[in-house]
Structure 1
Amino acid sequence: MTDVWSERADAYRESEAHRQGRDLELFAEWAAGKTVLDVATGGGHVAARLREAGCQVVTCDSAPGMQPDVICRAEDLPFADASFGVVTCRVAAHHFEDPAAAVQEFARVISDLVLVADNLYLGDAGEEADRLRDPTHVRNYSEDEWRGFFEQAGLEVEAFEREAKRIDLEPWLARAGCVGEEAVRVKELLRDRIEDGRVRVDRGIFKARHR
């Protein structure tokens, strides 16, 4: 079976869209100075920013090509209870098979905070576009669904922000290898969200802790 994410590793490490954002700055503010597990680290942008903020960071990812410290799935973290002060997970959970189980794992391994940022559900057209662009996409979730995942894991959302994220369209398509008819269809489905060569997505940024 092809390791799609390892094949995409360089593209994600070099992605301008992943190098910046309100979510990165909030994560750095909320986690400053703490021990952090960065789950589904991808190109390592969160880990790099958190280290700048004085954090000790361990990274994990299911794709060896992302060069994490530990190779594992988000739903099955090989760490003892309360091993870290904070877990971070940025723009990855829409690829998880079971995000509720992943959040339960996040809650288990932390003593303080769970910080999650991910694109929010945009309706059926948005979901079809995401699956066409990237077949590894499972589903985006609404703010209410995310709050439900946290509640089920014994966590309380302490802070939430919604960011209107504008992403350069063509590089966004290229990172996932979306070309030809699929790319045309994605643009049709998202036409109301495309302006000046950028696509707008709504990103939810959550700060949660044990109740």
Structure 2
Amino acid sequence: MTDKTSKEMSRDQYSQVGDAYVRSQTHAKGVDLDYLLNMVQPQKDWKVLDVATGGGHTALILAPYVQQVIAVDLTPNMVETAKKFVCDEKGQTNVTFQLADAENLPFEDGSFDLVTCRIAAHHFPACQKFIAESVRVLKQGGLLAVQDHVLPAEENHALYVDQFERLRDPSHFRAYSEQQWRQMFELGGLQVQQTRQLTKRHNFIDWAKRMNCTEETLDELVAMMKNAPNAVKAWQKPFPDADHFGGIETSFVNHHIIVVGRKG
């Protein structure tokens, strides 16, 4: 898969589901947003960049605490949908939206006090380049805060979990373990200040339908869950148990990490 193909897949996929992501309770609410606020401690004079803003929920929660938020996304439909939600529906006046590629940010060096990216980096074909770009546009002492899916440390189990996510969303490029996130931050010149892992439980049907999965894909996802190694089942905690997984009330857990690093 080339970088161009991966980005085109993301753009095409999210052009169709923008409103679903604005209304998604998984993205709009949750203790993870509170954790993120507490970990970065935003200040009134800060200028913030929210990368791959999606439905705009991170920009929305940060806006009351800072001077300005610029929210960017690769997908035109997401930008327009998020702008209507944050600015028109929620009335935030210090948030602006524009198109931008996370790996080629159109901003000058040292422009921002804080760069955020929430539940999006698994789509980036060159995550280390995204980190380098974030560091470039940060001021000295500025913070990069990333929240994303996190994988188990054991490689085979990590590959299985990642494939499960990719089957549901072909624009999913890859996720990383906590150790890999720490290594990428440090390689990018960031001092890791804090990390925090958390879980999110998803209704399986809602989770799959949000990406317009076909019935065939639903069956494949159910089969993956039923045939998963025991360690993966323990990681995903299907309910009811995996042998009965796939009905309208079934759910599973995925794991997230929040990583905050400071530009030295």
TM value normalised by structure 1: 0.93
Mapped partners of 1:114, 1:21: distance in 2:
20
Structure 1, unmatched stretches of 5+, are: none
**Residue in 2 aligned with 1:66?**
78
Given that 1:126 and 1:190 are in contact with CA atoms closer than 8 Å, whether structure 2 keeps it comes out as no
Query: 2:47 touches 2:66 (CA, 8 Å); kept in 1?
Result: no
Alignment of 1:16-35 (within 5 A): 16-29=25-38, 30-33=40-43, 34-35=46-47
Gapped regions of structure 2 (runs ≥ 5): 1-7, 84-96, 153-157, 227-232, 241-249
Change beyond 3 A, Cα 1:81–1:200: same
Change (3 A) 1:77 1:165: same
Which structure's CA Rg is the greater one? 2
**Aligned residue identity for 1:200:** V
1:22 Cα deviation from its structure 2 partner: 2.8
1:195 aligns with 2:239: yes
The structural deviation recorded for 1:31 is 4.3
CA pair 36-46 structure 1, distance change in 2 beyond 3 A: same
Which residue identity lines up with residue 26 of structure 1 in the other structure? Y
Give the Cα–Cα distance (whole angstroms) in 2 for the partners of residues 142 and 152 of structure 1. 15
Instruction: Return the match for 2:189 from 154, 166, 169.
Output: 154
Q: Is the 8 A contact 1:28 1:53 kept in 2?
A: no
Q: Which has the higher helix share?
A: 2
Deviates more, 1:35-44 or 1:122-131: 122-131
Identity of aligned residues (%): 36
- Secondary structure, in 3 states, of the residue corresponding to 2:136? helix
Give me the whole-angstrom Cα distance separating, in 2, the residues matched to 1:89 and 1:64.
18
Q: How many residues are aligned here?
A: 211
Aligned equivalents of 1:152 and 1:207: distance in 2? 14
Q: Determine helix, strand or coil for the equivalent of 1:156.
A: strand
Distance 1:158 1:22 in 2: 20
1:104 paired residue number: 132
The one-letter amino acid paired with 1:96 is: F
More strand by share: 1
Question: Bigger CA drift: 45-54 or 143-152?
Answer: 45-54
* 2:113 partner SS: strand
Bigger drift between 192-201 and 125-134 goes to: 192-201
| Alpha-carbon contact 1:129-1:185 (below 8 Å) kept | no
Helix, strand or coil for the counterpart of 2:261? strand
The letter of the residue matching 2:42 is: A
The amino acid that maps onto 2:121 is A
Note the C-alpha offset of 1:15: 0.4
Q: CA deviation at 1:54?
A: 3.8
Partner in structure 1 of residue 163 of structure 2: 128
Offset from partner CA, 1:81-105 (integer Å, 9 cap, x none): 1101000000100000100000111
How far does the alpha carbon of each residue in 1:47-92 deviate from its partner, in whole angstroms, 9 at most, with x for none? Answer: 1111133452100010011126221110000001110100000010
Answer whether contact 2:118 2:148 (CA < 8 A) is retained: yes
Alpha-carbon distance in structure 2 between the residues aligned to 1:103 and 1:190: 32
SS at match of 1:209: strand
SS at match of 2:146: strand
Q: Offset of 1:175 from its aligned partner?
A: 1.0
CA RMSD of aligned residues (A): 1.7
In terms of mean alpha carbon deviation, does 91-100 or 186-195 score higher? 186-195
Q: Distance in 2 between matches of 1:54 and 1:169?
A: 36
TM-score (norm 2): 0.75
Q: Secondary structure at the match of 1:190?
A: helix
